[in-house]
Structure 1
Amino acid sequence: MSEEILVNVTPRETRVAVVESGMLQELHIERASRRGVVGNIYKGRVQRVMPGMQAAFVEIGLERAAFLHASDIHRLPAEPMAEGDVPAPTPPITSLVHEGQEIVVQVVKDPIGSKGARLTTQLSIPSRYLVFLPQSRVLGVSARIEDEAERARLKDIVAGLANGGGQGYIVRTNAEGQPAEAMAEDVAYLRRAWEVVRHAAERTPVGGRIYEDLPLPLRAVRDLMRKNVDKVRVDSREALERIRGFAQQFMPALADRIEHYAGERPIFDLYGVEDEIQRALQKEVPLKSGGYLVIDQTEAMTTIDVNTGSFLGQRNLEETVYRTNLEAAQAVARQLRLRNLGGIIIIDFIDMTDEEHKRQVLRMLEKGLSNDHARTSVHDFSPLGLVEMTRKRTTESLERQLCEPCHECGGRGSLKTPETLTYEIFREITRAVRQFEASQLLVIASPRVVGRITEEESASVAELEEFLGKSIRFQADEQYAQEQYDVVLL
Structure 2
Amino acid sequence: MNKELIINSAPQGVEIALLEDKKLVELHTEKSDGRFAVGDLYLGKVKKLIPGLNAAFVDVGFEKDAFLHYTDLSPFAKSLLKFTTMCMNDKSEQGLDFSKFTIEPEIVKTGKINEVLNGKPHVLVQILKEPIAAKGPRLSCELSLPGRFVVLTPFNDIVAVAVSPAKILSEQTKTNSILRDLLNADFNKIVINDKNIYSDTKNYIQKIAPEKADIVSFYNNGSTIFDSYGITKQVKSSFGKTVNLDSGAYLIIEHTEALHVIDVNSGYKSVSNNQEQNAMETNLEAAEEIARQLRLRDLGGIIVADFIDMKLPDNKRKLVEKMEEFMGPDRAKHAVLPISKFGLMQITRQRMKPEVNIITQEACPSCNGTGKISSTLLLEDEIEKNLSYLITHKNSNLKLVVHPILYAYLTKGWFMSSKMAKWKKKFGQKTRLEENSNYHLTEYKFFDKHDEEIKL
CA deviation vs aligned residue, 1:292-315 (integer Å, no higher than 9, x gap): 111112221111111111124222
Q: Contact (CA 8 Å) 2:71, 2:109: kept in 1 or not?
A: no
Residue 405 of structure 1 deviates from its aligned partner by: 13
Q: Residue 269 of structure 1 aligns with which residue? A: 227
Whether 1:278 aligns to 2:236 is yes
Q: 1:67 to 1:404 in 2, by over 3 A?
A: farther
Quote the Cα distance in structure 1 between the aligned partners of 2:15 and 2:118: 41
Q: Does 1:387 align with 2:334?
A: no
The RMSD of aligned alpha carbons is: 3.1
Counterpart of 1:231, as a letter, is K
Assess, with a 3 A threshold, how the Cα gap between structure 1 residues 316 and 7 changes in structure 2: closer, same or farther. Answer: same
TM-superposition CA deviations, 1:248-267 (whole Å, max 9, x none):
12221221221222322222
8 Å CA contact retained: 2:67, 2:136: yes
2:189 counterpart of 1:231: yes
Aligned match of 1:398: 356
Where has structure 1 moved over 6 Å in runs of 4 or more?
404-408, 413-419
Alignment-derived partner of residue 199 in structure 1: none
Say if 2:73 is the partner of 1:73: yes
Give 2:5's aligned residue: 5
Change in Cα spacing, 1:88 to 1:94, as seen in structure 2 (3 Å) is closer
1:111 is aligned to 2:69: no
Aligned to 2:18: 18
The amino acid of 1:93's aligned partner reads I
Q: CA separation in 2, counterparts of 1:361 and 1:213?
A: 42
2:418 corresponding residue in structure 1? none
CA distance in 2, matches of 1:337, 1:390: 13
| TM-score normalised according to structure 1 size | 0.65
Conserved 8 A contact 1:30-1:36? no
Which of 333, 352, 364 is residue 322 of structure 2 equivalent to? 364
Unmatched 5+ stretches in structure 2: 79-106, 379-405, 411-441, 444-456
Question: Counterpart of 2:56 in structure 1: which amino acid?
Answer: A
AA partner of residue 11 (structure 1) = P
The alpha-carbon distance between structure 1 residues 323 and 388, as it changes in their structure 2 partners (threshold 3 A), is same
**CA separation of 1:108 and 1:77: change in aligned 2, threshold 3 A:** closer
CA shift, 1:35, in A, is: 4.2
Q: Residues of 2 paired with 1:298 and 1:234: CA distance?
A: 36
Give secondary structure in 2 for the equivalent of 1:58.
strand
Matches within 5 A, 1:251-330: 251-330=209-288
* Greater helix content: 1
Task: Give the Cα separation in 1 of the matches to 2:360 and 2:140.
Answer: 29
Give the corresponding residue for 1:129: 149
Query: Is the CA contact (8 Å cut-off) linking 2:164 and 2:331 kept in structure 1?
Result: no
Contact 2:44 2:123 in 1 (8 A): yes
Matches within 5 A, 1:436-451: none
Counterparts of 1:28 and 1:53, CA distance in 2: 34
Alpha-carbon displacement from aligned partner over 1:343-378 (angstroms, at most 9, x marks no partner)? 111111111111111111112211111111211111
The counterpart of 2:201, out of the listed 243, 246, 251, is 243
Q: Structure 1 pair 295/233, CA: closer, same or farther in 2 (3 Å)?
A: same
How far apart are residue 272 of structure 1 and its match?
1.1
Distance 2:260 2:131 in 1: 18
In the TM superposition, residue 102 of structure 1 has moved relative to its aligned partner by: 1.3
User: Within 2, Cα distance between the matches of 1:73 and 1:406?
Assistant: 46
Partner residue, 2:335: 377
Matched to 1:75, the amino acid is: P
The whole-number CA distance in structure 2 between the counterparts of 1:232 and 1:8 is: 11
CA contact (8 A) 1:47 1:100 kept: no
1:94 matched to 2:94? The reply is no
Q: Distance in 2 between matches of 1:105 and 1:403?
A: 34
SS at 1:381 equivalent: coil
Compared CA separation, residues 138 and 297, structure 1 to 2 (3 A): farther
Shift of 1:123: 0.4
Which structure 2 residues correspond to residues 411-422 of structure 1 after superposition, within 5 A?
Answer: none
Deviation at 1:416, TM superposition (A): 8.8
**Could you tell me whether the CA contact under 8 Å between 1:339 and 1:397 is conserved in 2?**
yes
Q: What displacement does 1:97 show?
A: 2.1
Which 5+ residue runs of structure 1 have no aligned equivalent?
Answer: 79-86, 140-168, 175-192, 194-210, 423-450, 456-476, 479-490
Aligned-pair identity (%) = 34
Q: Which amino acid aligns with 1:283?
A: K
Q: Any residues of structure 2 matched to 1:469-480 within 5 Å, and which?
A: none
Q: Are 1:131 and 1:172, in contact at CA under 8 Å, matched by a contact in 2? A: no
Q: Deviations over 1:391-411 (max 9, x none)?
A: 112121110xx4599999xxx
Rounded Cα–Cα distance in structure 1 between residues aligned with 2:77 and 2:151 = 21
The equivalent of 1:148 in structure 2 is none
